[in-house]
Amino acid sequence: MPDPLPVETDRVMVASAGVLSAPDPEVNAELAADGTVPLKKKRKKLGFGFWFSVIWIFLVVFGAAFAPWLPIDNPNVADPCAGVASTMVNTGATPDQAKLIFVGQATSAQQAQSLIDQGMTVPADVNGCKNPTLDSRVNAYPSATHILGTDTSGRDTFSRVIWGARVAITVGIGAIAVGMLLGGIMGLLAGFYRGKPETLLMTVADIMLAYPALILAIAFVAFAGQSLLNVGIAITIVSIPAFARIARASTLTYAEREFVMAARVMGAKNSRIIMREIFPNVILPVTAFALVAVAIAIVAEGALAFLGLSVPLPTSSWGTMIHDGYNVITDRPLVALTPAIIMFITVLAFNLLGDKFRTIFDVKDTAL
Amino acid sequence: MVAGKLGRMVAAIFIVSFLTFALAKALPGDPALIVLGTSSGTMIPCATNPGPSTANDSSVADCRGISPSKLHPRGAVGPPPLVQKCDAAQCVLARDQFLHQHHLDLPIMRQYAQWVGGALHGDFGTTYDAAPERVSHQIAQALPATIELMILAEVVALLFAIPLGVYSAYRENKLGDKVATGFSFLALAIPNFVLAIFLVLFFVVALGWLPLLYTPWSQDPVKNVKSIIIPVIALAAGTIAVFARLLRSDMIATLQEDFILMARAKGLPPMQVLFRHALRPSSFSLLTVAGINLGALIGGTVIIESMFVVNGLGYLLIAAIEARNFPVIQAVVLLITAVFVIINVLVDIIYSLLDPRIRHA
């Protein structure tokens, strides 16, 4: 089988000239003329996995962006009926009996019933709760009132998942975007100028890589204090060296290529060569890694939150939710399972997108 | 060459030790006051005041009164618990005693020198608890569980990954390989604590086969083995995928070689060709990554340890962070990082010894 590689790389050259879109049919025809096998853009279907990932990520990002304006419960406040509903479960009382028990008029269902029989009026509104049902109790199963059930404090799981997405997406995309920018610039400059700047920048990157990533993030948040900003900074710091290495590795390969020579011979300045010739090529592997890195960042934020080291309470984060649910996992598995599944699907979706991106643009694995 | 690598390793560990130290020092606020204002476990007693004893209520102040903003670390939730009432003079004295006891009254560079000097002798100072304990003692107690978890995860990962990788390479792009690839992808994507949740639900909650919490080996070996199954699988799953993918791609390259063709032509059974002839030359990068991964596992154990209440380094670290027990945090972070760096360098050296191509390059 003839090696399709040269064609493939030529196509990347085309991309470098500014045509960052799908391969031009004319280019393929030209290449076919000089004897190589034309790159038949196999109209490979993107497949179910890809579209599922795109839709899922769109939903998560949409929820994260518009959480305050969505018609969902307050994520940090328990269902007003949570207490009464839990009383119903614990004592086997009817809603009216439970209300009486809850306000302290009675201690058991029988006593409450006899009080009602004696003509005591049941308060219509207990702490804002009018018609308690079992759907409102803590750790409730999914129902019409709470479509994903409630958590250990009677808060709506669905709304906490959406507000948790806000933290996950802010940290995931925000921290990785900054890490990609800083690390990318570091790697690009190191790979292009070589010499002393390279030694300096890569030594810094190596020292950062000397820390196990999660330990560095934990130590940073522990010392600097818990806040969304600090969690973001921690994850950015951890991600910079990886981006720097990828950007440097692929800059090194492109800096030696003929089209860079050509630009240099034509008198292009270094800044132009970097921006117009090298950057468009380097951005591909860096972006492919960035998609995976977003998934890693979401996991890292989740891990920090699980350890109680992410955003301060009561702000909901998927990791915090999983941790809360883990405490009652033997009785109410769903409380931990729901956020765990949501997180898993999100992480999987970003991984799938990264993988697809790699296939579509034929990014070779660069040395990590 | 080996000497150069070792030199860089020592330099890296020193830089890391300095950064770890500096990170703790950069924290705004007075460690003594932070400790004075936090949970009862890390309270230091009111100093016995030699000055005028003012026991009447109006002058009695909680130590938090000195500097509320400093006593309430950012991120802490709720009011700091009211632990002990000292008058202001006692508080100042208690603070001085505390600073002196932990050598925090020295100039910063001397503190660092003292800390590093002690660390080189395996002495990481004393904890900030009311009854100070040696940090090195706590670490020594935590090490066995972490090492057990790490080694087991690594061994399990290799045991599963090697046959899987060899099989995938042998059946390249056939159904079995594709199924293995799909599972690898899932295993790589799933966070270890999420996998742990799924495993707990299945094996503990639904089937009731395994216990939820960890039992140390010294307490009950049988229970220990049962209780460590889920943590080990949760830690090993992603690693299995990484190892298997790596071995697969190296093995596919090896299987193209002439000596494999030769072995096949001789009529050797496939198993013998795969495991006796092809595996060894394909396993160099697997060895490297396996070594580096051992270091990375230390980070992964933190969360797994706190999930299953394994009394290991990670658990110690998280407990120390909650109690703001800085000497313990510094020591654990330094220790983990140093081990990580040392493993990486050792792997580098062993790799070049194993593979002549690198040695002579």
CA gap A350, B335 in Å, rounded: 34
Measured between beta carbons, the chain A residues lying within 8 angstroms of B74 are: 225-227
User: Residues of B with CB below 8 A from A213's CB?
Assistant: 296, 299
**Domain residue limits at A104:** 79-137
Does A324 have pLDDT greater than 50?
Answer: yes
Per the domain annotation, does A241 fall within a domain? Answer: yes
Domain contains A150: no
ipTM of the complex: 0.74
Q: Indicate if the alpha-carbon torsion angle A293, A295, A298, A302 is positive or negative.
A: negative
By Cβ distance, the residue of A212, A302, A330 closest to B191 is A302
Question: How many A-B residue pairs are in contact by the CB < 8 A criterion?
Answer: 124
Q: How many CB atoms lie within 10 A of CB A339?
A: 29
> Residue B191: which of A211, A313, A343 has the nearest Cβ?
A343
User: pLDDT band at residue B44, thresholds of 50, 70 and 90?
Assistant: very low
Predicted confidence (pLDDT) per residue in B79-106, tens digit: 444 444 555 555 666 666 667 767 676 7
Left if phi > 0, otherwise alpha if psi is -120 to 50, otherwise beta: which for B127?
beta
Dihedral angle sign, alpha carbons of residues B332, B336, B341, B347 = positive
**Separation in Å, CA of B9 to nearest CA in chain A:** 10
Give per-residue pLDDT as tens, A103-150.
666 666 666 667 677 766 666 666 666 666 666 666 667 776 777 777
Q: Do A306 and B197 touch (CB under 8 A)?
A: no
* Chain B residue with the nearest C-alpha to that of A341: B194
**pLDDT score at A364:** 57
- B61 forms beta bridges with B86
The tokens for A249 are 């590795």
Nearest to A218 among B188, B194, B302 (CB): B302
Model confidence band, residue B69 (pLDDT cutoffs 50, 70, 90): very low
Average pLDDT of the segment spanning A213-222: 81
CB contact under 8 Å between B340 and A211, yes or no, is yes
Q: Please identify, among A89, A105, A137, the residue that sits at the C-terminal boundary of a domain.
A: A137
d(CA B185, CA B180): 9
Residue in B75, B318, B344 nearest the CB of A307: B318
> In the block, which residue shows the tokens 């380094």?
B313
Q: Are residues A213 and A348 in the same domain?
A: yes
First to last CA, chain A: 30
Structural domain includes residue A101: yes
| pLDDT tens figures, A39-85 | 555 556 677 888 888 898 999 888 888 877 877 777 766 666 666 66
Do A32 and A181 lie in a common domain?
no
One-letter amino acid identity for A155?
R
Residue A233, CA distances (Å) to A172, A236, B43, B201 in order: 11, 5, 31, 34
Three-class DSSP labels, B292-346: HHHHHHHHHHHHHHHHHCCCCHHHHHHHHHHHCCHHHHHHHHHHHHHHHHHHHHH
Q: Tell me the two tokens of residue B197.
A: 């949740």
In a domain, A172, yes or no: yes
Model pLDDT, residue A48: 82
Q: How far apart are CA A350 and CA A348, in angstroms?
A: 6
Question: Are A338 and A203 in the same domain?
Answer: yes
Check A214 against B295: CB less than 8 A apart: no
> For residue range B128-177, what is the model confidence (pLDDT) as tens digits?
766 677 778 888 888 888 888 888 998 999 999 888 888 888 888 888 88
Same domain, A310 and A245: yes
A13-42 average pLDDT score: 44
Output the pLDDT for position A247.
84
Residues in chain B: 361
Mean pLDDT across chain B, nearest whole number? 74
CB contact under 8 A, A224 and B299: no
CA pair distance A120, A190, nearest whole angstrom:
81
C-beta atoms of A308 and B15 within 8 A: no
Closest residue of A to B341, CA-based? A210
**Count of the separate structural domains present in chain A:** 3
Q: Which of A129, A78, A75 is nearest to A102 (CA)?
A: A129
- Per-residue pLDDT at A136: 64
Calculate mean pLDDT across residues B66-88: 44
**Is the pLDDT reported for residue B325 higher than 90?**
no
Q: Are residues A121 and A214 in the same domain?
A: no
In chain A, alpha helices (H): 5-16, 25-33, 47-66, 82-91, 95-102, 109-117, 157-169, 176-193, 195-210, 213-224, 228-255, 258-265, 270-272, 279-306, 318-326, 333-360
In this structure, the answer to whether residues A246 and A109 fall within a common structural domain is no
Selected for mutation to probe chain A from B13, B197, B309, B344 (highest A CB count within 10 Å) is B197
How do residues B201-227 score in pLDDT, each as one tens digit?
888 877 878 777 777 777 777 877 788
Same domain for A165 and A206: yes
Question: Which of A210, A308, A348 is closest, CB to CB, to B340?
Answer: A210
What band does B67 get if pLDDT is binned at 50, 70 and 90?
A: very low
Q: What is the mean pLDDT of residues B255-280?
A: 81
Residue B46 pLDDT: 52
Residues A195 and A324 occupy one common structural domain: yes
Q: For an interface test with B, give the residue of A57, A215, A237 to mutate (most B CBs within 10 A).
A: A215
Within-domain flag for A174: yes
Cβ of A211 within 8 Å of Cβ of B16? The answer is: yes
Candidates B75, B299, B336; nearest CB to A225: B75
State the Cα–Cα distance between residues A229 and A215, nearest whole angstrom: 18
- Percent of chain B topping pLDDT 90: 1
Q: Does A1 have pLDDT greater than 50?
A: no
pLDDT at residue number B207: 81
Which CATH number belongs to the domain containing residue A276 in this structure? 1.10.3720.10
Q: List the single residue in A with minimal CA-CA distance to B206.
A: A330
Q: Is A291 part of any domain?
A: yes
Peptide bond into A38 cis (omega under 30): no
CA distance, residue A218 to nearest chain B CA (Å): 9
| Contact residues on chain B for A295, CB-CB shorter than 8 A | 189
Instruction: Tell me: pLDDT of B39 over 60.
Output: no
The shortest CB-CB distance from B16 to any of A210, A213, A227 is to: A210
* 8 Å CB contact of A207 and B318: no
Closest partner residue to B189 (CB to CB) among A307, A330, A351 is A351
- Which residue in the set B15, B194, B337 is minimally distant from A212, CB to CB? B337
**What are the chain B neighbours of A215 within 8 Å (beta carbons)?**
298-299, 302, 317, 333, 336-337
Residue A205 in tokens? 């990157």
Euclidean distance between CA atoms B64 and A235, whole angstroms: 33
- Of residues A320 and A95, more confidently modeled: A320
User: Do A86 and A201 belong to one domain?
Assistant: no
The DSSP element (H or E) to which B62 belongs, if any, is: strand B60-62
Q: Please, which pLDDT band fits residue B29 given cuts at 50, 70 and 90?
A: low
Task: For chain A, list residues whose CB is within 8 angstroms of any CB belonging to chain B.
Answer: 206-207, 210-215, 218-220, 222-227, 295, 299, 302-303, 306-309, 312-313, 319, 322, 326, 329-330, 333, 336-337, 340, 343-344, 347-348, 351, 355
Cβ of A307 and B16 within 8 Å? Answer: no
Q: Please indicate whether, in this complex, the C-beta atoms of A309 and B321 are within 8 angstroms of each other.
A: yes
Answer yes or no: do A195 and A328 share one domain. yes
**Which residues on B lie below 8 Å from A218 (Cβ)?**
302, 317-318, 321
Q: Which chain A residues have a beta carbon less than 8 Å from that of B75? A: 225-227, 312
Of A176-180, B3-7, B196-200, which has the strongest mean pLDDT? A176-180
Higher per-residue pLDDT: B15 or A5: B15
Q: Is residue A202 part of a domain?
A: yes
Helix, coil or strand: residue B48 = coil
DSSP B134-170: BHHHHHHHHHHHHHHHHHHHHHHHHHHHHHHHHHHHH
Chain B nearest-CA distance from A119, in A, is 43
* pLDDT digits 0-9 by tens, A265-310: 888 788 888 888 888 888 888 888 888 888 888 988 888 888 888 7
CA B13 to the chain's CA centroid:
16
In a domain, A148, yes or no: no
Give the tokens for residue A129. Answer: 């709760």
Mark out the alpha helices in chain B (DSSP H runs): 2-25, 31-37, 68-71, 88-101, 108-120, 135-170, 175-189, 192-199, 221-254, 258-265, 270-272, 279-282, 284-308, 313-323, 326-354, 356-360
Q: Which residue of A has its CA nearest to B335?
A: A211
Q: Measured between alpha carbons, how far is A137 from A150 in angstroms, rounded to an integer?
A: 7
User: Is residue A179 domain-shared with residue A290, that is, in the same domain?
Assistant: yes
Token match 């080694």: residue?
A: B151
d(CA A30, CA A253): 25
For chain B, the straight-line distance linking the first and the last C-alpha, in angstroms and rounded, comes to: 12
Asked if A326's CB is within 8 angstroms of B197's CB, the reply is yes
| pLDDT average, residue stretch B275-283 | 79
CA-based nearest distance B91→chain A, Å: 24
Question: pTM for the complete prediction?
Answer: 0.76
A246 and A283 inside one domain: yes
- Cβ-defined contact of B74 to A227 (cutoff 8 Å): yes
What is the pLDDT, as a whole number, of residue A274?
Answer: 80
Top-confidence residue, A253 or A55: A55
So what's the pLDDT on residue B37?
53
